[in-house]
Structure 1
Amino acid sequence: MLEKESFKLVVEAIEQLEMGFQGLPEFNSSFELDNLRNVLLEVATRMQDNFPYPHPLYVGQMLKPPHPIARLAYTLSLWINPNNHALDGGRASTIMEKEAVNEIAQMFGWKIHLGHLCGGGTMANLEALWVAGKVKPGLKIVASQQSHYTHERICSVLGIPFVAVKSDRQGRMNLDALKTLLAAGDIGTVVVTMGTTATGSVDPLPEILELQSQYNFRIHADAAYGGYFTLANNLDTKTRAAFDCLKAVDSIVIDPHKHGLQPYGCGCVIFQDPKVGSFYKHECPFTYFTSDELHLGEISLECSRPGASAVALWATQRLLPYTKEGQFATELSKSRKAALTLFEKIQGDDRFLIAFPPELDIVVWTPRATSASAASEIAKKIFASSAQKNLHLAIANLPVEFFINIGAEMKLDQDYLTCLRSCLMKPEHFDWVDDIWQLLQHATDQV
């Protein structure tokens, strides 16, 4: 299951790296190889206690294996272990980070921007909302009920008032509910989710941009999960229109450790207006002295940060450029195609109810039953039965109103349904849809 062939390149790459440090006095690190081997094999044994995340039959949470080039480049960089906080801690990796972030910004149509990598989507969103609070002090931040829970938590940390906006029947921000909130005149920032965690739903950005001209608020796009789908060639018309508008927002967050084929943690925050960098300004008497160039620590809330993340991302972008006709975009489109194929199979089986077609690559459905509570219990049993057959799904509690006309055949004895959920985010998933479907059918038959 685990790809090993590419690892043979590491020794060759280390020898190439070492050539850059010739002329130094020789020294050897002190360790005993047998002791390393014993501990490393113990680690491997302990790590067996995991779900098979790299395998195509794992379709549960948002866990996409890093590309081999990302693993190799990250590993190679650890012989240097650069720190991208300041140039004297990671000269090469700092430049690579700037180039990698620039490529992400260009993917959204931004030639001028300010941004950097960070520990993940949560930290990236924290920085974006921190800047939002500086630009619009004292005003509220709003996001949809289906947005990631960290937005409310981040606002609590920052001391910024937060309001959740009601979602529509497809998990998107409800425009009428947003208009009602905006009418009060105390909204400073609207967070637009470009692919919710639960269902992959995309908020109606074109319409929200129209409201911005009337109410003068900032727009932050949380594209942590869905951002790379701007390169996909098979989005529906409404979703495509939303992604095409991303160049008009004020800030964007994307997680390369999701669809960007990177190891954890690698998040990215970018701002359209570089002048927001003034909010980060600080003095450090012992760090920023090696160069007149901008140190990444001067535009980041984080201090020490792994340059390895930048090296891995840069290498992946070098191998798989962000072009709409390239391999990276093609495989992303295949993930959506896989989701649409599975959606059609589930929709054609009268044992299941499906909420709505997938906008990206997440499919959500629930069993038919006499009541919402009964359907939820059956879903849990199918989840467990599937896992016994090595098909690893996820479950999610979603509002019953996501399932249109459900009240006609199901007693609504609770306001949510426990649903089965699949994230078909691996490039191989399209070729494995039939296997996934057969195992799901067998599990459902057994239940």
Structure 2
Amino acid sequence: MKLERESLKLLEKALEKLESGFELPNLDQSYDLDKMEAVITKTAEKMQDNYPYFHPLFAGQMLKPPHPIAKAAYMMAMWINPNNHAMDGSKASSPMEKEAVADLAKMFGWEKHLGHLTGGGTMANLEALWVAGKIHPDKKIIASDQAHYTHERISEVLKLEFDKVGTDHQGRIDIQALEEMLKQGDIGTVVCTMGTTGLGSVDPLDDILELRNKYDFRVHADAAYGGYFTLLDNLASQTIKKYQQLDKVDSLVIDPHKQGLQPYGCGCVLFQNPEVAKFYIHESPYTYFTSDELHLGEISLECSRAGASAVGLWATHQLMPLVRNGEFANNLSKSRSAALRLFEKLQTSDDFFPLLKPETDIVAWGIKGRTTSEMSQKANEFFMRAEENHLYLSLYKYPTSKLSNPSFEIDTDYLVCLRSSLMKPEHEDWLNDIWSRMIASL
């Protein structure tokens, strides 16, 4: 197995081009290369103690390798190491960030917006809920019991009251249960998850927006994982309908370091109404002087932020624009196709059964047995054998109360299942190999 190295040639040419833009006296930048070689070799040996996250046989957690253009552009930027807090430290990369963020907003149908990159989805969600708390300071934040745990933790940090709403057996917000909670009149924001990290389920945004017409609350879309699926045509029609409503939410989060082919950390928060910038207003005695244009630090809770993230994202958008039927969308659709193919194989298996039909590219399945305790034990043992066969999966605890018409005895609160995030476009070509290793691991 060889790691991709062709992008290093691009990096060398890019550094030569970058270097030619500075007419400055020579600077002595000599280092002890022998000592550095010893350290970097030792570092590489340490890094061998990893799962092969970049390979299609890693079909477990949400880990997707950055595109070569993103790696090359990010590394090139490291020679300057821009800080995208203020234009003083990011004269080129701040405008690149604004352009890349506008690309993301346009993908959701937003021509007017306020937004910026963040260190990741957690920080992006924190900013969205912080603004929500400023608008409804005495009202609750609501998310589903399958939403990412970060919403509850963030609400605690922000001293905002938080509550969970139940979900159906597909892992999506139960609309009737939500309306019962809304009737109390104490909910300020509903978090709608556009692709849960557990099952990849998409909350019923269209129904939630209808409830917003009846009750007064904000809608925040956590599309950290699933946002890019808005570009696809091979989703179920009902799922497509939900994604088509994203232009109507109040705030939105997406993580380019998940499906967007970027290195960690690269998240993004977007607000429909640019006037929420008023909540960010602050003064700094030594920044914001080099430009009359808006500095990104003036609309961000974070201070220093890697400008290299913006450079990598901008370059990726230049190579693969975020448009339907483009190269980026077509590669993402392969992940969706791989998930559907695995689901079909599970349906006809004598040994496995799917929990539900995937809405995105996450597939969860159980191993057949007499009781949920027996099936959970089988899943744990299968997980270890699969790794011995160089197939890397993940485990998932599914509430047995949500199982629909089970043909087995329920004797536990949770069923331990297997789970795959088929995020790499190569997963479609490798699916038969993955299936063979699954069978061999029984």
Shorter-chain TM-score tier: over 0.9
Q: CA deviation at 1:27?
A: 1.2
Secondary structure at 2:126's aligned position in 1?
Answer: helix
Letter of the aligned partner of 2:247 in structure 1? K
Aligned ranges 1:341-356 → 2 under 5 Å = 341-356=341-356
Aligned length, in residue pairs: 441
Corresponding position of 2:361: 361
Q: Which residue of 1 aligns with 2:11?
A: 10
Equivalences for residues 134-283 of structure 1 within 5 A: 134-283=134-283
Matched letter for residue 420 of structure 1: L
1:425 aligns with 2:426: no
Runs of 4+ more than 3 Å apart:
none
Distance 1:235 1:298 in 2: 38
SS at match of 1:91: coil
Q: Normalization by structure 1: what TM-score?
A: 0.98
* Structure 1 residue runs without a partner (length 5+): none
Deviation, 1:106, is 0.1
Three-state SS of the structure 1 residue aligned to 2:225 is coil
Q: 1:250-298: CA deviations, max 9, x gaps?
A: 0000000000000000000000000000000001011111111100000
Deviations 1:312-365 (CA, angstroms, capped at 9, x unpaired): 000000000001010100011110000000010011102122211000000000
CA distance in 1, matches of 2:207, 2:10: 50
- Secondary structure (helix, strand or coil) at the match of 1:397 reads strand
2:166 and 2:424 map into 1 onto residues whose CA distance is: 31
Q: How does 1:42-121 map to 2 (within 5 A)?
A: 42-121=42-121
Give the 3-state SS of the residue equivalent to 2:269 in structure 1: strand
Q: Is the 8 A contact 1:354 1:403 kept in 2?
A: no
Structure 1: distance between partners of 2:121 and 2:53? 20
Which residue does 1:302 correspond to in 2? 302
SS at match of 1:440: helix
Tell me which residue corresponds to 2:410: 412
**How many angstroms does 1:99 deviate by?**
0.1
Unaligned runs of 5+ in 2: none
Shift of 1:401: 3.5
**Alignment partner, residue 432 of structure 2:** 434
Q: Distance in 1 between matches of 2:78 and 2:402?
A: 47
Q: CA deviation at 1:371?
A: 0.9
Q: Aligned partners of 1:47 and 1:180: how far apart in 2?
A: 51
Instruction: Work out the CA distance in 2 between the residues paired with 1:360 and 1:401.
Output: 23
Output the CA distance in 2 between the equivalents of 1:40 and 1:257: 25
Distance 2:289 2:210 in 1: 45
8 Å CA contact retained: 1:60, 1:394: yes
- How far apart in 2 are the matches of 1:329 and 1:354? 26
State the shift of 1:134 in Å. 0.5
The answer on whether the counterparts of 1:355 and 1:404 sit within 8 Å (CA) in structure 2 is: no
Distance (whole Å) between structure 2 residues aligned to residue 30 and residue 12 of structure 1: 21
Quote the offset at 1:5 in angstroms: 1.7
Structure 1 residue 402, shift from structure 2 partner? 3.7
Deviations 1:24-70 (A, max 9, x none): 11111241111111111111000000000000000000000000000
